[in-house]
Amino acid sequence: MRQFRLFMITFMFISGSAQILGQTKAINRENYRMHIFKTDEEIEVDGLLDEEIWQVAEKTIQFQRVTPTDTGYAISQTSVMMTYDESNIYIGAVCYDLFPGKRPVQSLRRDFTFWGNDNFAVHIDTYNDYTNGFAFYISPAGVQAEGLISDGDRINWSWDIKWRSGIKSYDDRWVVEYSIPFRSIRYFEGSTEWGINFGRMDLKSNEKSAWAPMPRQFVHADLAYTGTLVWDEPLGKAGLRFSLIPYVKGKVTRDNEADEDTKWSGGAGFDTKIMLSSSMNLDLTVNPDYSQVEEDRQQTNLDRFELFFPERRQFFLENSDLFADLGSSSIRPFFSRRIGLEVPVNAGFRLSGKIGDKWRIGVMDMQTGKEDAIPSANYAVAVLQRQVFSRSNIGGFFINKQVTGDYNDTLYMGFDYNRVAGLEYNLASADNRWTGKAFYHQSFYPGSSADAATVAGDLLFSTRYFDAGLAAAWVGADYVSEVGYIRRTGYFEMSPSTGYTFYPASGIVLSHGPSLSFHILCNPEFEMTDRQTQLGYSIGFQNRSSLSFSASEEFVLLNRPYDPTNTNGVKLAAGESFNWQNAGISYSSDLRKLFTYSMGGTYGSYYNGSRLNLNGSVGYRFQPYGSISVSANYNSISLPDPYNSAELVLIGPQLDITFTDKIFLTTFVQYNNQIENLNTNIRFQWRFAPVSDLYIVYTGNAYTEGFTNKNRGLVVKLSYWFN
């Protein structure tokens, strides 16, 4: 432990040096500036841009190419202008199109995928912290997508707000008009400058371009490379604003496994959003319902530890990075899916936003009810974050789970309370070449010790051609976070990695290069328990298809009995060690085409036997009205007697129909013989008003043999957004 603490001190010193060595000044903010002027003219958001203000508004200079190369100007240019009034920000853009033919659009569904559609994008850094912001996208079919930007370049597309847009299409161009209400975004009163960048994906020319230039190794939403939006006068006070989203629902279910009769039920509740200021938001929820949330994508489970499934519920998503990004991907002290998936949520609130130009705060409290063996409990989390240097921050948090009900008559085996407190430092240099994190967490519960803690960090250096990273962690054997996602405890971990990318001057290959990663885990006695070495080589083609190869070597010393097929067979004994090797290949086709596919496979030894994995997907778009696709994963595991061999099949066909940009139907089926389940989910959505929906959702589960029904349910839910 002493040696590891010394390592972490050294690591923190390197992180600080990286921040100092990284540029401390924004890349494009001085050279790319756009002025916005107020208008009293009434603007009709129709895509015509025929109002007088559009004739005199300042226009952007030429867009510069980002991919396939980040040099020179884009072939298909874009011109952008902006204005505003008391209530809204207006954006007009002309997207010129030099190539004949239909503009690629996957469907009419909101929150489309970036790489599969022509689109125009706006990324706004309202706080000027190069870290948090907003993204607004639109396709040539008029389909909207909006998201919250966190960590400088990550977009959460599940965020949903009201904004208007209009589109007009011509042979040589398509014209965009936005209206974004000030009340829909967060910013500082008195602001005179924002960070902003405009982007364009033009699939016919195979180009991604941006107004303020950026290196091609970074994503389009990277706020480190925004230009400056200059307001003609300081922004005024937003004042208190309020919106209410009530819902009503009806539900019918039948559980054939428990031989229960058909049950009919109903419910009602509401969410409330209160804008306390232009930078602070309060969300309240009473008797929330998540029955319309899409089904999780199942995974074949060949892991010794719990699988991770992302949060999809709307209430937990705004400013979610404050809570969900604590820790690392395998050491998360707060995981919102622990709240309310198995028990009802009675009520809760979340306060989040900015205090001044350097501080961010997040406070959440949720109260759940009792369900069978699970007692009622209160979940609270508070986070305070302070920006340091140009884009880095340091913060602290406190998480508390408190059982509030009587569980003496239940089978509940947890503690009556579990608390975790911690300090974190997030590194991001001004040019985004240096990124990393270091943190210390301590958990508290009845009988906890000093070993109920974790210390970890990671550091990544990335350029156009070269990247190198190092991650390390120590997790104490007594560390417990009942509201978190902790894959395992009682180990030391070290993970170095590196890679290099070549960019040929011409030819069908756009880029190619090798990668190498090494991962090692030791128990508290420094005995190695896990090791993985992986060598890969990736090739990206000019037509956006890709090919990759991999070879890996793995070692495992089992700390508990384990069946490698996870099919309840005879288990390998604790204390046994295994070493194996495998190789793989994968290919993904050009996503711009109507017909797309991907395929891959690996083969090699596996514990004391062998394993063949084949996976792939096939899809076809009926542009723009929907798509049909099938994904499949096949594992053939062969182990010697008396251990189980298995052929595991996971198939997921999906039909996605977008009748209009407001009426959607999705049918998703998942056949998984590992858990002997056939899941069917049919979801109809009618967005009859902005952020107001009618959902009709059917869910059924059946056995994979004989297809006898286990359970089924039908939900009808209606919600409406009142401002």
pLDDT tens-digit map of 331-376: 999 999 999 888 899 999 999 989 988 999 999 999 999 887 788 9
User: Rounded to an integer, what distance in angstroms lies between the CA atom of residue 609 and that of residue 179?
Assistant: 60
- Furthest-apart CA atoms within the chain: distance in Å: 81
217 compared with 529, residue with greater pLDDT: 529
Please give the DSSP secondary-structure letter assigned to residue 398. E
Domain count, the chain: 1
Measure CA 133 to chain center: 15
In a domain, 266, yes or no: no
- pLDDT tens-digit readout, 692-719: 999 999 999 999 998 999 999 999 999 9
The mean pLDDT of 241-245, rounded to a whole number, is: 88
364: nearest Cα among 394, 423, 402, 323 = 323
Question: What tokens were used for 712?
Answer: 């089924």
In a domain, 217, yes or no: yes
Using the predicted structure, report yes or no on whether residue 314 has a pLDDT greater than 70.
Answer: yes
- pLDDT tens-digit readout, 252-299: 999 999 899 999 999 999 999 888 888 888 999 999 988 888 778 888
User: Rounded to an integer, what distance in angstroms lies between the CA atom of residue 478 and that of residue 304?
Assistant: 19
Burial of 641 (0-12, 13-18, 19+ CB in 10 A): exposed
Torsion of CA 7, 9, 15, 21, to 10 degrees: -110
Measure CA 1 to chain center: 34
Using the predicted structure, report yes or no on whether residue 102 has a pLDDT greater than 50.
Answer: yes
Question: What tokens were used for 187?
Answer: 């910013």
The mean pLDDT of 94-104, rounded to a whole number, is: 91
Q: Report the residue count for the chain.
A: 723
192: nearest Cα among 226, 238, 234 = 234
pLDDT band per the 50, 70, 90 thresholds, residue 44: very high
Q: What is the pLDDT of residue 110?
A: 86
The domain in which residue 49 lies consists of 31-231
pLDDT band per the 50, 70, 90 thresholds, residue 322: confident
326: phi then psi, degrees, rounded to nearest 5: -65, 140
Question: What tokens were used for 205?
Answer: 């020319």
At residue 347, the 3 state secondary structure works out as strand
User: Rounded to an integer, what distance in angstroms lies between the CA atom of residue 416 and that of residue 640?
Assistant: 45
At residue 331, the 3 state secondary structure works out as strand
Please give the DSSP secondary-structure letter assigned to residue 22. S
pLDDT band per the 50, 70, 90 thresholds, residue 87: very high
462: nearest Cα among 217, 109, 723, 117 = 217
Q: What is the pLDDT of residue 368?
A: 95
Q: 179 vs 133, 360, 433, CA distance in Å? A: 17, 27, 34
The beta strand positions in 39-77, using DSSP E, are 64-67
462: phi then psi, degrees, rounded to nearest 5: -135, 130
- pLDDT tens-digit readout, 383-407: 999 999 888 999 999 999 999 987 6
Q: What is the pLDDT of residue 719?
A: 95
At residue 338, the 3 state secondary structure works out as helix
Q: What is the pLDDT of residue 113?
A: 80
In a domain, 569, yes or no: no
656: nearest Cα among 164, 141, 112, 187 = 112
User: Rounded to an integer, what distance in angstroms lies between the CA atom of residue 361 and that of residue 350?
Assistant: 10
Q: What is the pLDDT of residue 420?
A: 98
Using the predicted structure, report yes or no on whether residue 633 has a pLDDT greater than 60.
Answer: yes
Q: What is the pLDDT of residue 184?
A: 86
Q: What is the pLDDT of residue 13?
A: 52
In a domain, 667, yes or no: no
User: Rounded to an integer, what distance in angstroms lies between the CA atom of residue 590 and that of residue 206?
Assistant: 11
User: Rounded to an integer, what distance in angstroms lies between the CA atom of residue 121 and that of residue 98?
Assistant: 19
Q: What is the pLDDT of residue 142?
A: 94
The mean pLDDT of 580-605, rounded to a whole number, is: 95
- pLDDT tens-digit readout, 469-515: 999 999 999 999 999 999 999 999 999 999 999 999 888 999 999 99
User: Rounded to an integer, what distance in angstroms lies between the CA atom of residue 543 and that of residue 548?
Assistant: 15
The mean pLDDT of 177-205, rounded to a whole number, is: 93
pLDDT band per the 50, 70, 90 thresholds, residue 240: confident
Q: What is the pLDDT of residue 20?
A: 54
**H or E stretch at 16:** helix 2-21
Q: What is the pLDDT of residue 5?
A: 55
In a domain, 132, yes or no: yes
User: Rounded to an integer, what distance in angstroms lies between the CA atom of residue 481 and that of residue 226?
Assistant: 38
DSSP, residue by residue, 426-450: EEE-TTSSEEEEEEEEEEE-TT--T
By 3-state DSSP, what share of the chain in percent is helix, strand and coil, each rounded to 5?
5, 55, 40
Using the predicted structure, report yes or no on whether residue 467 has a pLDDT greater than 90.
Answer: yes
Using the predicted structure, report yes or no on whether residue 19 has a pLDDT greater than 80.
Answer: no
606 compared with 158, residue with greater pLDDT: 606
Please give the DSSP secondary-structure letter assigned to residue 111. S
DSSP, residue by residue, 352-365: EEEETTTEEEEEEE
User: Rounded to an integer, what distance in angstroms lies between the CA atom of residue 340 and that of residue 350?
Assistant: 15
Q: What is the pLDDT of residue 357?
A: 85
Using the predicted structure, report yes or no on whether residue 17 has a pLDDT greater than 60.
Answer: no
420: nearest Cα among 542, 326, 343, 322 = 326
193: nearest Cα among 163, 234, 159 = 234
In a domain, 473, yes or no: no
Using the CB atoms, write b or e for 453-471: b if 16+ within 10 Å.
Answer: bbbbbbbbbbeeeebebbb
pLDDT band per the 50, 70, 90 thresholds, residue 690: confident
User: Rounded to an integer, what distance in angstroms lies between the CA atom of residue 236 and that of residue 183?
Assistant: 12
Q: What is the pLDDT of residue 100?
A: 85
> Which alpha helices (H) appear in 302-398, and where do they start and end?
321-324
Counting Cα atoms < 13 Å in the Cβ hemisphere of 346 gives 12
DSSP, residue by residue, 491-537: EEEEEEEEEE-B--SSSSEEEEEEEEEEEEEE-TT--EEEEEEEEEE
Using the predicted structure, report yes or no on whether residue 457 has a pLDDT greater than 50.
Answer: yes
- Using the Cα atoms of residue 656, residue 661, residue 664 and residue 668 in order, give the sign of their dihedral: positive
Q: What is the pLDDT of residue 3?
A: 42
Highest mean pLDDT among 113-122, 410-419, 662-671: 662-671
Using the predicted structure, report yes or no on whether residue 632 has a pLDDT greater than 60.
Answer: yes
Question: What tokens were used for 274?
Answer: 């209160």
Report pTM.
0.88
At residue 184, the 3 state secondary structure works out as helix
In a domain, 130, yes or no: yes
Q: What is the pLDDT of residue 723?
A: 78
Question: What tokens were used for 482?
Answer: 């009942």
In a domain, 440, yes or no: no
Using the predicted structure, report yes or no on whether residue 305 has a pLDDT greater than 50.
Answer: yes
Counting Cα atoms < 13 Å in the Cβ hemisphere of 567 gives 18
Average predicted confidence (pLDDT) for the chain: 91
Question: Beta-carbon neighbour count of residue 303 at 10 Å?
Answer: 11
Name 693's bridge partners.
719
Q: What is the pLDDT of residue 11?
A: 52
Q: What is the CATH number of the domain that holds 141?
A: 2.60.40.1190
Q: Is the peptide bond before 68 cis (omega within 30 degrees of 0)?
A: yes
Pairing mode of beta strands 33-38, 227-231: parallel
Using the predicted structure, report yes or no on whether residue 411 has a pLDDT greater than 70.
Answer: no
